[in-house]
Amino acid sequence: MDYEKPFLPAEYRRRVHDVKTRMEESGLDLLICQDPANMCWLTGYDAWSFYTPQVVLLHLKSDTPIWIGRLVDVNGARATTDLPAENIINFSDDRLHHVELHPYDEVSEIIKSRGWGSDRIGVELDAHFYTARAHQHLLNGLPNAKFSDSRGLVNWARLVKSDAELVYMREAGRIVSHTMRQAIDNLKPGVPEYEIVAQIYAAQTRGVDGKYGDYTSLCPLIQVDEKTNAPHLTWSDKPLPKSGLVLLEIGAARRHYHAPLTRTVYMGKPPKEAQHLANAIIEGGDAVLEMAKPGVVVDELNTVWLGVLNRHGYVKKGRSGYSIGMNFPPDWGERTVSIRSGEKTVLQAGMCFHFQSGVRPPAFGAAISESFVVTEKGGERLADVARQLIVVD
């Protein structure tokens, strides 16, 4: 099957070695990954099959992970990974969506057949697609095993990007820049919100310079006027106004590596309060990007950001950003480091973040966010869209 793999086998061997080292440190013999991003990161497996049970097993005594999924997805595993045939295993399809049986019954049998039934097993208790029922069937099927939460072990291994990964992060940045500029050009009074989003989807997928875009882990988000105070609302059929705020949060993905970006647009002549808020956000964001160098503690970024906002008379509660990289729906964040007070992670070169600079006073909201890579010179912006309150006359 003709499939262009995103990385050389050596990249996956490096990742497996890193994860096994972390497993030893955590006292785990066997790791069960259900998170599709972790499965893909460890093996290369890439298909829209994460809506059903599927796992990657990694044991300390094995050099190669094991993929287990549906029979219909076996050829997908063969195409997208370099796993040997004996490490690609399907469960019986009659266990899918059965009221009593479950695919994890067979996962348990496979684990026992390898002699791992009494091992210390880490599971991803906070993974989106690891259900309570799946966990219960594992507990029932492996009564002698010692289960514990792996606490995002693979997620944390993904935090510092390799040079090969940064190639895709930067390509995603170029795609999201092009997409955002096109979206802004399409903002005209009377155009319905869904038309803007339809054009965003097309631009995200077409990519730039022959580099296509993958589906993103979040859909495009658009809010107008008072809805800018509710940042996760999606589109409607309402036409854009002649005068008012429009907030766009979009992303682009290249081989599932994401670069999110937010811009705030004013249709017509912006009022002073909107410009004042935008200026404060830009100043605070610039300070964060300048400071984002190896050795800096993450909560120091948040302190600088909040200090700028406070000087301008604004207050922000909640986190101000999060780590990004490879991901699958429903979230493009890695669910590890958050830019917030009390976060003591020390920055390293190659970490990537979305500095989500949304500030929402009572009447409206604005955001001028950036995805960036931590470098010795500070945060390298992945996108190059103008950092300003964008005015559409």
> Are both 149 and 294 inside the same structural domain?
no
Question: Per the domain annotation, does 283 fall within a domain?
Answer: yes
> Are both 149 and 199 inside the same structural domain?
no
Question: Per the domain annotation, does 2 fall within a domain?
Answer: no
Q: How far apart are CA 251 and CA 332, in angstroms?
A: 9
Confidence at residue 362, expressed as pLDDT on a 0 to 100 scale: 86
Confidence at residue 388, expressed as pLDDT on a 0 to 100 scale: 97
Q: How far apart are CA 160 and CA 144, in angstroms?
A: 36
Q: Tell me the residue ranges of DSSP E strands in the chain.
A: 30-33, 55-59, 66-69, 88-90, 120-123, 146-149, 221-224, 244-254, 257-267, 321-324, 333-339, 352-355, 370-375, 378-381, 390-392
Question: Per the domain annotation, does 75 fall within a domain?
Answer: yes
> Are both 268 and 373 inside the same structural domain?
yes
Q: How far apart are CA 377 and CA 48, in angstroms?
A: 38
Among 175, 201, 174, residue whose Cα is nearest residue 186: 201
> Are both 210 and 347 inside the same structural domain?
yes
Residues 6+ apart with CB under 8 A from 137: 102, 104, 105, 108
Name the residue with tokens 């964008």: 390
User: Which residue, of 157, 179, 208, is where some domain finishes?
Assistant: 157
Among 217, 212, 175, residue whose Cα is nearest residue 36: 217
Name the residue with tokens 């796992």: 55
User: Which residue, of 122, 157, 192, is where some domain finishes?
Assistant: 157
Q: Write out the residue range of the structural domain in which residue 34 sits.
A: 9-157
Confidence at residue 271, expressed as pLDDT on a 0 to 100 scale: 95
Residues 6+ apart with CB under 8 A from 379: 288, 289, 290, 291, 292, 353, 355, 370, 372, 373
How would DSSP label each residue in 205-247?
Answer: HH-BTTB--BPPSS--EEEEGGGGGSTT----SPBPPSSEEEE
> Are both 261 and 377 inside the same structural domain?
yes
Among 21, 19, 46, 44, residue whose Cα is nearest residue 32: 19
> Are both 152 and 167 inside the same structural domain?
no
Q: What is the DSSP letter of 159?
A: S
Burial 219-243 (b: 16+ CB within 10 A, else e): bbbbbbbebbbebeeebeeeebeee
Question: Per the domain annotation, does 35 fall within a domain?
Answer: yes
Question: Per the domain annotation, does 291 fall within a domain?
Answer: yes
Question: Per the domain annotation, does 1 fall within a domain?
Answer: no
pLDDT in tens, the chain (393 residues): 789 999 999 999 999 999 999 999 999 999 999 999 999 999 999 999 999 999 999 999 999 999 999 999 999 999 999 999 999 999 999 999 999 999 999 999 999 999 999 999 999 999 999 999 999 999 999 999 999 999 999 999 999 999 999 999 999 999 999 999 999 999 999 999 999 999 999 999 999 999 999 999 999 999 999 899 898 999 999 999 999 999 999 999 999 999 999 999 999 999 999 999 999 999 999 999 999 999 999 999 999 999 999 999 999 989 999 999 999 999 999 999 999 999 999 999 999 999 999 999 988 999 999 999 999 999 999 999 999 999 998
- Report the side by side order of strands in the sheet with 221-224: 221-224, 244-254, 257-267, 390-392
Confidence at residue 16, expressed as pLDDT on a 0 to 100 scale: 98
Q: How far apart are CA 147 and CA 127, in angstroms?
A: 15
Q: Residue 351: which CATH number?
A: 3.90.230.10
Confidence at residue 79, expressed as pLDDT on a 0 to 100 scale: 98
> Are both 263 and 139 inside the same structural domain?
no
Q: What is the DSSP letter of 323?
A: E
User: Which residue, of 136, 157, 178, is where some domain finishes?
Assistant: 157
Q: How many structural domains does the chain have? A: 2
> Are both 125 and 212 inside the same structural domain?
no
**SS3 label, residue 118:** coil
Task: Measure the CA angle with vertex 134, ends 130 and 137; round to 5°.
Answer: 155
Q: Residue 32: which CATH number?
A: 3.40.350.10
> Are both 316 and 380 inside the same structural domain?
yes
- Report the side by side order of strands in the sheet with 333-339: 333-339, 321-324, 352-355, 370-375, 378-381
> Are both 293 and 318 inside the same structural domain?
yes
Q: How many Cβ atoms are within 10 Å of 194's Cβ, its own excluded?
A: 14
Count how many residues are written for the chain. Answer: 393
Question: Per the domain annotation, does 3 fall within a domain?
Answer: no
